[in-house]
Amino acid sequence: MLNTETDEPARTPTDDVPEEAQPASEKGKPGRKRRIFVTVAVLALLAGSVAVGTTLPDPKSSEAYAALAGEKASVESERDSAKSSYESMKSKYDTLQNGISDREAKVTARETEVGKADAAVKTAEAAVKVREDAVTGAEKTKAANTIGDGTWTVGKDIEPGTYRAAAAVGSTCYWGIYATGSNGSKIIQNDIPGGGRPAVTLSAGQDFNSTRCGKWEKQ
């Protein structure tokens, strides 16, 4: 028979059981401590910043801020004054502009009236000119058809036709009608009317003589 005995002491079942695992809380302690340290450091920095911030002076109480504020107020005052002056000037300008527009409208209306008056004057002047021309023409025609004392050749000096004394003649009035070129030797007709307004009819180829009878007008 084999000798199964040994000098080593016999193992109990508990000898093969591994050591009891450490609790997880115990294994994680180094990382947890690190996080706590970082948190505390951050809080310390924040606290330091707050402390530093609370100790900084108020910028509004500085002389530079006060000077800038004064300059800003001065600029704003100047701006408001300039704006007020501008509005006042603009109001005056608008008033003047409206007045100018009214005056221009009146001037335009006046010019229209003057234009109408000028047109009326020109029309009247044209009418007067027509009448003057008519009178002048009539006067010229009358003058051309009026003869006085002297001997006149019909067809050359005067037009043929009937002529009448312009006014009553005196007792010494004499008129005669002669054959042209006879120098008064060939009497066709003559008369001493002694008064009134005698009339004679003249034809081409005749000479007419009037002595102390005044004016004769062609009828």
DSSP 112: H
User: Hey, which of 4-18, 54-68, 96-110 has the most confident mean pLDDT?
Assistant: 96-110
Residues 157 and 202 in one domain: yes
Residue 125 near residue 159 (C-beta atoms within 8 A): no
Residues 14-73: pLDDT tens digits?
444 444 444 444 445 556 666 676 666 666 665 655 554 555 677 778 888 888 888 999
Residues 74 and 112 in one domain: yes
Residues 117 and 152 in one domain: no
Q: Which of 116, 144, 172 is the last residue of a domain?
A: 144
Higher-pLDDT residue of 93, 6: 93
Higher-pLDDT residue of 140, 185: 185
Give the number of other CB atoms < 10 A from CB of residue 216: 27
Q: Considering the domain boundaries, does residue 46 fall inside one?
A: no
Q: Considering the domain boundaries, does residue 114 fall inside one?
A: yes
Q: Considering the domain boundaries, does residue 168 fall inside one?
A: yes
Report the C-alpha gap between 205 and 149 in whole angstroms. Answer: 19
Report the C-alpha gap between 214 and 163 in whole angstroms. Answer: 12
Report the C-alpha gap between 150 and 52 in whole angstroms. Answer: 144
Tokens representing residue 201 in the block: 């009819």
Q: Which residues constitute the domain of residue 186?
A: 147-218
Among 180, 182, 185, residue whose Cα is nearest residue 156: 180
Q: Is 15 exposed, middle or buried (0-12, 13-18, 19+ CB in 10 A)?
A: exposed
Q: Which of 144, 176, 205 is the last residue of a domain?
A: 144
List C-alpha distances in Å: 178 to 36, 173, 200, 205: 168, 17, 12, 9
Q: Considering the domain boundaries, does residue 59 fall inside one?
A: no
Q: Considering the domain boundaries, does residue 8 fall inside one?
A: no
The average pLDDT across 6-15 equals 45
Q: Which of 125, 144, 163 is the last residue of a domain?
A: 144
Q: Look at the chain and report how many structural domains it folds into.
A: 2
Q: Considering the domain boundaries, does residue 57 fall inside one?
A: no
Average pLDDT of the chain, as a whole number: 82
Residue 190 near residue 176 (C-beta atoms within 8 A): yes
pLDDT of 20 reads 44
Residues 139 and 162 in one domain: no
Q: Considering the domain boundaries, does residue 117 fall inside one?
A: yes
Q: Considering the domain boundaries, does residue 45 fall inside one?
A: no
Residues 67-91: pLDDT tens digits?
888 899 999 999 999 999 999 999 9
